[in-house]
Structure formats: structure tokens, C-alpha cells
Amino acid sequence: MENYTVEGIKSTYFTPNVTLNAETGECSISGESYLEDTWEFYRPILDWLKQYSEEVKKPIDFKFNLTYYNTSSSKCFLDIVKLLKDYKDVGGEVAISWYHPEDDEDIKEEAEDYKNFLNIDINIIPY
Amino acid sequence: MASKKFSFFHHYLSLSDEDVIISYKGPMSDVIINEISREIQERLSADPKSGKKIYAIFMELAQNIFFYSSESTTLGGKTYRIGSIVLSQEDENYTLTAGNIVDKKWIAVLWDKCEMINSMDRESLRKLKFEQKDKGEYSSDNSKGAGIGLIQIALTSAQPISIEFRDIDEHKSFFALSVNVKKNL
């Protein structure tokens, strides 16, 4: 299975950096997320995770490290976390970390909500 | 066009009433949104925590106009939706106000939504935001997150949202939404 990467661009819209590594299972989304077509951007990421969890079946270590995102983007983050939870529920080894700027409680709360309402482990790390 | 005289003098006077930091009315293009958002970051850089909240709320309000305003104009072959956003300040708070024209059928929906949001405590709002994201689908055109955007605005500002409608004609109303963010958080 192929790796998937996107290099973040900050212009009129903000594309985050994306790394999905099929050999190591290390995945990350970082930077800022505000896109012209949010779903178009996140669909390949969800597809990749689905394929990985069905074919590769190795551990996944997913890191979110966002400094800004709009609400449409956060809808996709939830979709990603839900997919990871589904994988975990069928026996996949999943670790999720959510980094947030120390003084940004709004970003921290986003992860707390996924954690509490989905009942999944998320390591929430201020920096 | 002569019948639609715009009084710049009245506009000027009304904006002078309070300390206006940024005021824009016109086509809400992605380029304009980007320019204003950078201006906000720059102007509020000395107050970073409140400034970031204002920035995040501005982005949601601007995107609401970008997707949902029912007034539009065509420039260079592209259609842009029209709206207005004003950022002002007084001693304790910054205020962001966004206004645009909406079809009257949305008045009841927006009104009920804001009443509900204002009546809820933070924990319930977080739960509601989660539930709406959880069940939301991306397939239909009206689900770019407007409802969730309002909840997020209330959570980010941590203060009530106020809204106002003024009838324009039998089908359209002017809709304004205003929200405060405390300074120096």
C-alpha cells in the first residue's frame, strides 16, 4: 500500500500537512485547515485509513497537531477519529494524540469531546 | 441608479459611534476573507488569546456569508455573495457583527437556533455540537456546517449571541448577528 502525503500550503486557503505512512502506521495532520472543498480534501485520507485497516491491519499512530481549523474541517477530524475507533473495535492497535497550543482551550475541548462522547482514548498534549 | 442614493455621510457617522477596528461591506470573496482575517490577526496581535477567538469567529461568520447570503453580485464572470462584517471594541469587549440578506423562510430556523444556543450551558452546547457533527452528512449542499458554526461561535465567544431581523420586502430580510469576546483573556 502506498504512503500518502500532502504538503501544507498557506495562501487564500490553508492546507494542512498530511503524512500517512503505510509501512510504519505513523500518520499525522498538522498546521492549519481551511479549505475550498473540505470534503474533497479529506476523502482520500478517510479512504486511505479504511484501506489500511482492512488490508495492512498493522498498528496506527495518528497525531493531530492543528493550530487553526474551521468547523467543516473539524467535522472531518471527527470522521477520522470514528474510523480509528471502528478499527480499534475490531482488534486494530490504535493510538491517537491531539496536540494543542497551551493557551487554546477551544482546540483542546474539541479532542475532549471526541474522547468523552465516543469513549475512545486520546492523548491530549498541550505545548 | 440615481434613486438608490447611498449616504456616505450617514454611514460615516454611524461607524464613528463606537471604536471600529475593521468594517467591510461587499462581495465576500475568498480573497477578501483572507485579507480581512490577516488584518484582524495583525491588529489584535498584542492581545493574542482574544485575538485568536475573534479570528476564528470571523472566519465562521465570513464563511456563512460566503455560502448562504441570498444577495449576490457577479464580477468578472464569478458570482460572489454579499454581506457585511464589522469588528469594534469598547473597554471590556470586542464585538463582531455580521449582516446579510436572507430568505424569510430562514428567520424562524435561525431565531430558534440562537434561542436554543443561548439557553444552554457550555457542557450541553459541547454535546450538541458533537451530536450535530456526528450525524452530519457531507453529501447534501446545505451541510457545510452552518448550524455547527453557530454553536462553535457561541462556544468560542463564551457569551450569548444576539440576532436581529429587518424586513426588506415580502421575501427577504436583513439578518444581523452579533457576538462579544472579552479582551485580554
In tens, the pLDDT along B113-141 reads 999 999 999 999 999 999 999 987 554 44
- 3-class SS of residue A121: coil
Q: Determine whether the interchain pair A74/B133 forms a contact, defined as Cβ–Cβ distance below 8 Å.
A: yes
Contact B60, B152 (CB under 8 A): yes
Among A67, A66, A16, A58, residue whose Cα is nearest residue A38: A16
Residues of chain B with Cβ-Cβ distance to A39 below 8 Å are 138
Pairing of strands A123-126, A94-100: parallel
Q: Determine whether the interchain pair A106/B155 forms a contact, defined as Cβ–Cβ distance below 8 Å.
A: yes
Residue tagged 471526541 (cell numbers): A114
What residue type is B95 in one-letter code? T
Pairing of strands B19-27, A4-6: unpaired
* Angle ∠(A65,A42,B149) on CA atoms, nearest 5: 75
C-alpha cell at A57: 491491519
Contact B166, B77 (CB under 8 A): no
Pairing of strands A60-69, B19-27: unpaired
Closest-CA distance, A99 to chain B, in angstroms, reads 17
CA A62 to chain centre: 6
Any chain A CB within 8 A of the CB of B34? yes
Q: How many residues does chain B have?
A: 185
Choose the closest CB to B31 out of A12, A75, A82: A12
Any chain A CB within 8 A of the CB of B184? no
Q: Which residues of A touch B (CB under 8 A)?
A: 11-13, 34, 36, 38-39, 68, 70-72, 74-75, 78, 82, 103-104, 106, 109, 113-114, 117
pLDDT tens, position by position, B75-108: 899 999 999 999 999 999 999 999 999 999 999 9
Those of residues 97-116 in B touching chain A at CB distance below 8 A are none
pLDDT by 10s per residue, chain A, length 127: 999 999 999 999 999 999 999 999 999 999 999 999 999 999 999 999 999 999 999 999 999 999 999 999 999 999 999 999 999 999 999 999 999 999 999 999 999 999 999 999 999 999 9
Q: Best mutation site among A72, A82, A106 for testing chain B: the one with the most B CBs within 10 Å?
A: A72
Residues of chain A with Cβ-Cβ distance to B31 below 8 Å are 12
**pTM exceeding the 0.90 threshold for the entire prediction:** yes
Residues of chain B with Cβ-Cβ distance to A71 below 8 Å are 60, 145, 148-149, 152
Between A15-19, A71-75, B16-20, B157-161, the lowest mean confidence (pLDDT) is in B16-20
Q: Determine whether the interchain pair B145/A72 forms a contact, defined as Cβ–Cβ distance below 8 Å.
A: yes
